[in-house]
Structure 1
Amino acid sequence: MTPPTERADAARNRLRILDAARRLLEVDGSADLSLDAVAKEAGVGVGTVYRRFHHRAGLVYALIEDNETRFQEAFARHCADGTPSAHDRLRTFLHGLADLVEDNRELLLLAEAGAPAGRYHSAPFRRHHEQIAGMVAELAPAADAAYTADLLLMAFTPGLFAFQRTERGWDVDRIKHGLEALIAGIGAGPEPGAAAPAP
């Protein structure tokens, strides 16, 4: 059954609004990311933007989720090419996550400022945690996969990532290199005689 014209128009408007918001972020950062400015840039009525996203936080999270979809699609394509090892998949995932955070620093900092603990309850964070924990469990069966996933995801806390990039002047390659060292340590397994983690 063909979707109604209104639904197709709404989908096109959503894409126009998200694209307009990205352009504003590229030019002006987060300062001018008001719904009024986004509506003007997108060439749609302000009411259209408010009905779709309600407030700036709603628009920010829509942009994050849209970018997350692209990241997941790229990772799925990588995994479809043959059968990469758990080490290779984890490396690719964390490198891709570093690029995702770098490309969306302004958005993620906006979201973090609005709800500092909101990241841990978000769908992307839960999804990333589940994926990383699964790869860690495959790479190092004796490791506490859930805890290790939490530690790895701490590297992508928006405020910390931005601090490393701006205040410390680290480039993304340095962050990726550090992540590779962590992956190597995970793959090496626990010390002989180490106690197994509690269930």
Structure 2
Amino acid sequence: MTRVAILISGGGSNMLALVGDMRQGGYAEPVLVAANDPLAGGLAKAAALGIPTAAVDHRPFGRDREGFEAALAAHIDAAKPDILCLAGFMRILTPGFIARYQGRMLNIHPSLLPKYPGLHTHARALAAGDSHAGCTVHEVTADLDAGPILGQARVPILPGDTEATLATRVLEEEHRLYPAVLRRFVQGDRTPVYLD
């Protein structure tokens, strides 16, 4: 059974979508949920589901990103995952960390990449007058939000949309898209999934 570790920073809603689909589909096993914030709400949710958890607080490391990542990697490597899913993990990773898991690390991003890498994606889509927003699952590479695209879901921007209303609808699509991509990725299929 394919072993999957999930990295989070907050409430873990994408983590829950992934775990639910893995367990329902029986195609992979969640072996670790790790966070860079010991108070991340998703840790308790994962523990309640019987998934091992770990927290490495990034703050005491200051600017020592390599030190933080070494501590995090120790937990990841102990869990022996085949695939690493970033699910709302709000740390930019160093090239060294990315190289360690190259080819088996996925991320979900709340825009239709290559549009709007980085932060404030919904505000940027609204400011540009776009007709659609959405989300993208991609392989993680050393270039921020620029790895090969594995799936996208489009969300229409409605009259009167705010960042909050758009973010809510995009998140619902993230919960559909990420499991669909992971299911195919586990089977070795990297053909992009497109949901409308």
**TM (normalized to structure 1)?**
0.30
Higher gyration radius (CA) = 1
TM-score normalized with structure 2 length: 0.31
Q: Higher helix proportion, which one?
A: 1
